[in-house]
Every structure is written in structure tokens, then in C-alpha cells.
Amino acid sequence: MLFSNASIAQFIEANFEPLWVSMRPVPQITIDFGNGHRIKRTLNGNIATWVCTADGTAIDVLPGSYAPQIWLREIEDLKTVHDHFVAIKKGQREEFLRDYHESQLGLAASRVVSHTATSELISGLHQDTQLNQTRRRRMAHQFLRNQPPSNPRLFTNWLYREVLGTDLEDPYLGLGETLFNNAPFLGEDATTH
């Protein structure tokens, strides 16, 4: 877990006012192998990390899961952006933020994650990080560039639905297709009734 890493926790507390918010429940699944072994995990979970000013204005977002070292580096960069944002006059902040997102659009494509870092990059987390750093962040920058500075709450539904592929208002928590349209034995069931 990202926040169980002592150096990351220390960095967060030294540089941010941290707050976590649950957007909705996450479905859990338990597979019982019948031989005493069971696996329990969550399905369709996803995260987003926003950096905001003291009045709640969203500066930028890191959509999805990241490898810890990459996440730390990106968060550090966003703190720098925040510091610039609050240092300028209020009347210039909207333009500053638009220019910032515009400039990041060009960088998003080149944010290829190297394999040199720690062991966690070997896993699927590397692929997630790569996807988040390139395509998803690009989508976020495109969207935020065209929005007036505002609270993340106004952008959250869009971010989860369009960028992370999770509709927060879905009563089936993203499992509707699996449960009703894509059941593995649906055809066989139909023949028995």
C-alpha cells in the first residue's frame, strides 16, 4: 500500500494536508477453492490523487494507480505548480492554470516510465503507471484546460467515468455487464429453462 511506505508518508505529511475520501463502496469477491484456500479481493477499484489549494481549487490530478516512486515524483512536481499558482495574483491564476495544462499536453505523450526503478514496476503496476502517465493524464489535462478553476468535486464524476472507466452512479458498481450480459454459462442456462 502506497501510504504504508514510511518515506512516502513522511513526505506527504511534510508537504501536504492529506485527506482521503471514499467515492462509493467497492465490490469484493471471495473465491473458495474448496481445499481450505480462499482468495479475497476487490473488483473495479480505482483511485485519483488531486492536489488542491487551501480554498479547494484543483490544480491537477494523478488518475489511477501509480508505482510509488513515480507517484512521489509527480506529486512533488504538482506541489511546485501549486506554489507558483498561489504566488501569483488572483486575477492571473485562471490563465496560469490553463497555460499549465496546455503545456502538459505535449509532455504527456513523452512520459514513458522506465524499467529501471524498483521491483514493483515489474508487476502490472508498471502497465497501469504507463497508461496513467500517458493517455489518462492527457485526457485530464485536455479537460481541465477548458474548465475554470474549481473544486475537484465538480470534475470527479467526469474523471471516473471518462478517464478511469468507472461510472460512480452505477448501482451495480461496474458489475452489471458481468452479472447480467456476460455470464459464462448464460447459453447453457437458457437451454435448461
Q: What φ, ψ does residue 46 adopt, rounded to 5°?
A: -160, 160
Query: Of residues 22, 110, 114, 191, which one binds other proteins by CB under 8 A?
Result: 22
Give whichever of 52 and 121 is closer to other proteins, judged by the CB atom.
Answer: 52
**How far apart, in whole angstroms, are the C-alpha atoms of residue 112 and residue 134?**
7
Cβ-in-10-Å burial (0-12, 13-18, 19+) of 25 comes to exposed
> x/- site string to other proteins, residues 32 to 51, per CB under 8 A?
--------xxx-xxxxxxxx
Cα diameter, the chain: 71
Taking CB under 8 A as the binding criterion, the range among 9-17, 100-108, 139-147, 182-190 that sits at the site for other proteins is: 9-17
Tell me the three cell numbers of residue 178. 458481468
Q: Is residue 119 close enough to count as binding other proteins by CB under 8 A?
A: no
Write down the least CB distance from residue 53 to other proteins, Å. 6
Sign of CA dihedral 103, 85, 47, 165: negative
Q: Is residue 2 close enough to count as binding other proteins by CB under 8 A?
A: yes
Tell me the sheet residues that pair with 150.
Answer: none
Write down the least CB distance from residue 122 to other proteins, Å. 22
Residues numbered 56 to 115 that lie near other proteins (CB under 8 A) are: 56, 59, 75, 78-79, 82-83, 86
Residues 6+ apart with CB under 8 A from 132: 62, 63, 64, 65, 66
Residues that bind other proteins (CB under 8 A): 1-6, 9-10, 12-13, 15-26, 28, 40-42, 44-56, 59, 75, 78-79, 82-83, 86, 152, 156, 166
